[in-house]
Amino acid sequence: MEGSRKPLAKVEGRRRLRLSGVTVAWRGTPNLDDWVAYIVNGTRSKKLILADHASERKVKTLLSRLQALPKTGIEKLAKG
């Protein structure tokens, strides 16, 4: 008989990109490929997703690449 297990730790974060003024949020579980990154300043009905079902490494790499892009470039990368 298995005892109760601790739930997996969720990690969340937000970053405002200086050049474009866009706020990007991300969340996921370490060591799992369930990470998601999305643009926060969009409207509620139109949430722009940058990465979905990705690894932590891919999301962090994406965030560093987005630092140098303008707002239109970031919105082109997002899938709505």
Contact residues for 55 (Cβ-Cβ < 8 A; gap 6+) = 33, 35
Sign of CA dihedral 36, 28, 10, 75: negative
Q: Could you read off the pLDDT of 7-23 as tens digits, one per residue?
A: 788 999 999 999 999 99
Per-residue model confidence (pLDDT) at position 5: 80
Contact residues for 70 (Cβ-Cβ < 8 A; gap 6+) = 19, 20
pLDDT band at 4 (very low <50, low <70, confident <90, very high): confident
Q: Could you read off the pLDDT of 27-76 as tens digits, one per residue?
A: 999 989 999 999 997 666 667 899 999 999 999 999 999 999 999 899 88
Per-residue model confidence (pLDDT) at position 9: 86
Hey, what are 40's tokens?
A: 């926060």
